[in-house]
Chain A
Amino acid sequence: MTAPIEIRSAPHVQGAKTVETIMRHVVYSLLPICAFYVFQYGISALASLVVVTAACLLTERFFVRTGTQAGRLSDYSAVITGLLLALTLPPGFPLWMGAVAGLVAIALGKALFGGIGFNVFNPALVGRAFVQAAFPTAIATYTPSFLTGRFTEFIPSSLAWPLMIPADAAAWLKVKNLDALAGATPLAKWKFDGVVANAVDLLTSLSGHMAVGPAPLLILLCGAYLALRRFMDWRIPLAIIGSAALTAWLLFAFDPARYPNPFFMLFSGGLILGAVYMATDMATSPVTPKGMWVYGALIGLLTVVIRYYSGLPEGVMYAILIANAASPLIEKITQPVPFGRSVLNRRKRATYPLNPGYISREEAGAVTPKKRFLPKKPKK
């Protein structure tokens, strides 16, 4: 018999999910969000999405080619980083700064650690943190959504030359006869002016004159798609939203004059985007189910605390980065209890011998809460 039968060890079948399919579906789910973002802000937003993603892809290609990092280009993870990064930047962010953000995101956020799976921090947030430190003015400059002419005209700051001071958005807005303050994000408005935006505006991002980011409702919808198809873990977003809402509600109940309502907390700024797409980044979140709850709860808590008590209007980014750093520790203390170990430990404490002979069903059942089946007489 010369047939070259192949031998390998069990299992001989494999599930359908691969890294590529997961990443591809994340990209698919991001597309509607990006489309709506472009609808809100016009060609500037489109250019920003394209440039940042291209910068990420080129950087990834460089590091994969030179063998510095694992993975390959076709795994789509760099596309995700690029799109997410672009969504967190203001639409009129100078394109060259966007490119720098993309480069830093992949180089310092990913390649430095060895590529896909090894990174400790979410690359998109590393990129965003870098540009926030490097270009603080540009990143705080939002333009209102739904400007007329947004599809024919770039926001002037987008096209700023590298290393030049970008055009003054406030002045440009004045020329356009718009209230300059309308360009502030709802969070900044609340933080610095004490104005709380109304719910419908926040949820749908459909109001003009308000610089809200990507639409939270749409993000939740796309996230639900991912969670239902099991391309994302549902625990983390749920934990974040739950813990942020709880913390905000406690403070609101304590002093409604000083603190905005929890609804505003949840749907303003990047909390939803962060909860659904950033914090759920697999490589930087714990693998254990219990760990995911802890991790999510930590992010929710930190976000609210940073928003209230720091000088920054936005807190999600730092909350997630801190939780990323804590994730190995969280994982360590939330290791799953192996099957049969909890019983065993309880037995040990009760100084049972391992094989105590007859254990009644009740006794055996007493160590686990649920008894699922009690046989009935078969019907004759």
Chain B
Amino acid sequence: MKLLSYFRGEAFQRGVHPPSCKLTADRKIRRLPFPPKVTVPLSQHIGKAPRPIVRVGQEVVRGQPIARSDEWLSVPHHAPLSGVVEFIGLRPGMRGTWIESIVIRAHPGATQEDLWGRPRDLSQATGQDILQAIWDTGMVGLGGAAFPTHAKLSVPKQAKVHTLVVNGCECEPYLTCDHRVMVEQSDDLIAGIRYAMRATGAERAIIGIEDNKPDARSVLRDAIARAGTLPEGEIFAELVPTKYPQGAEKMLIMALFGTEMPAGGLPIALGMVVSNVGTLAALGKLLPAGQGLTERVVTVTGSGVARPGDYRVILGTPLKFVLDYAGVPAVHALDARQVILGGPMMGQAIGSLDVPITKGVSGVLVFRREDMQVRETRQTYPCIKCGECVESCPMGLNPSTLGMLAAKREYELMGERYFLGDCFECGCCTYVCPSNIPLVQQFRVAKQILREKAA
């Protein structure tokens, strides 16, 4: 009810409230066993893929760099387990394409401790040193976008950052990995925030937490109090109203500060840098130990999972292994019909279980057929101009008109007059459309066509 949102003072006016289904919010993070074999795709992040620096047959130990590049928008990869490099070449990837990957077979009986790290003291390190150290960990945004963290945290010379915004929203239904990380790794998170503040020069950090996770905030406030007064500046943990897509940078900044970010601009234009809690918590752990990123927390849930939960998963673990462990008998019995990497609003449905867990995978959702909210079985109607999509688009676009133009293939008009480029594909419009029109899908196609035309 939009009328109420004015009175409730919601953070931003639009957006949707999908049922949150956070089934795993109360369960501790558990470690998934080491798989016999891992596949490390070289391209796991936005930016150029690094080159392998190991040979087939070479022995590697857990934590050892196995791929590296000097490109700015590229991060190294580290061996997720100790073993032998078995294969370097094309392997199926998430999006149905084949990706150059490194396959490592585990040493049977290896303890699988992190063997490569060099503990170091970063208390005197400058921002540049910390950025370099972050780069060396191979860290990318663990929230899903997988943007290299060192690039995100580096501030251009002419700009100045005053605030580090820490994104603890996790607005996607089903996902709870960030929530669990905030609760269980609060000290790591505070440490990570301190490093990020030093790297960016921010004198203040604000953790934005959706108000459906009040426990995370109280835990973090305790951790902040434990940390005492910091030389870097102050850290705050604040609640924001729960709403999808609060996790988007622009929406979070709007929710916290009431400031609209200029279209086409970055948070840095407002003197802010946004990073996700999972990323910073991992940094807080890896940086002092001098280790690389070899594992991440993944939410495995959905109606097709017998033992849902948040698991600490070795990067490169085959999805099939994860699902076997989490108890997805259905996959083999053929009644699991949908496997999604990421959240249900923006995640990627996959067609093969041979793909590995990569740095950007925050969740694995498995739905049985009868629980899927199958769009295709619904009748599709022409746009009845109900205006629901206009009211739900967080970017303030007019998806109804855009959809009609897309149907007429007026892609240029969509881009020029109706701001197609501002759409960040959150899917709110498709979610609410009673006529079941695949709006965001049409917009993706339209954007792709416009990109091709421009190229």
Contact = CB atoms under 8 A, between A and B. Distances in A.
Contacts of B350: 5, 7
B386 interface: yes
A335 B160 contact: no
A174 interface: no
A233 interface: yes
Given A72-B379, A338-B395, A9 B349 contact: yes
B234 interface: yes
Interface string B347-374: 1111111100000000001010000110
Interface string B254-270: 11111111111110111
Bin the interface of chain B by size: 35 or more
Given A5-B351, A116-B382, A287-B385, A14 B373 contact: yes
A333 interface: no
B331 interface: yes
A1 interface: yes
Given A118-B382, A338-B419, A341-B419, A10 B346 contact: yes
Interface in A47-82: 70-72, 75
A1 B337 contact: no
Contacts of A373: 238, 255-258
A17 B398 CA distance: 19
Residue among A9, A17, A20, A282 with max Cβ neighbours from chain B (10 Å): A9
A365 B339 CA distance: 43
Interface residues of A, number: 78
Contact of B401 (A18, A282, A287): A287
Contacts of A2: 334
Given A288-B398, A359-B270, A19 B349 contact: no
Given A4-B337, A364-B270, A380-B225, A11 B430 contact: yes
A339 B1 CA distance: 20
A337 interface: yes
Contacts of A8: 349, 375-376
30 contacts: A3-B334, A4-B334, A6-B337, A9-B440, A9-B441, A10-B346, A10-B427, A11-B344, A13-B173, A14-B375, A15-B18, A15-B432, A19-B434, A19-B435, A21-B434, A284-B385, A287-B390, A288-B390, A292-B387, A336-B397, A338-B419, A340-B261, A343-B263, A355-B269, A358-B162, A359-B270, A361-B271, A370-B258, A378-B236, A379-B221
Interface of A: 1-15, 17-22, 70-72, 75, 114-118, 227-228, 230, 233-234, 282-289, 292, 331, 335-344, 347, 354-361, 364-365, 367-368, 370-373, 375-380
Given A3-B353, A14-B431, 18 more contacts: A1-B352, A3-B332, A3-B336, A5-B351, A5-B352, A11-B344, A15-B431, A230-B2, A282-B386, A287-B389, A289-B390, A292-B387, A338-B263, A338-B397, A340-B260, A355-B266, A359-B271, A370-B258
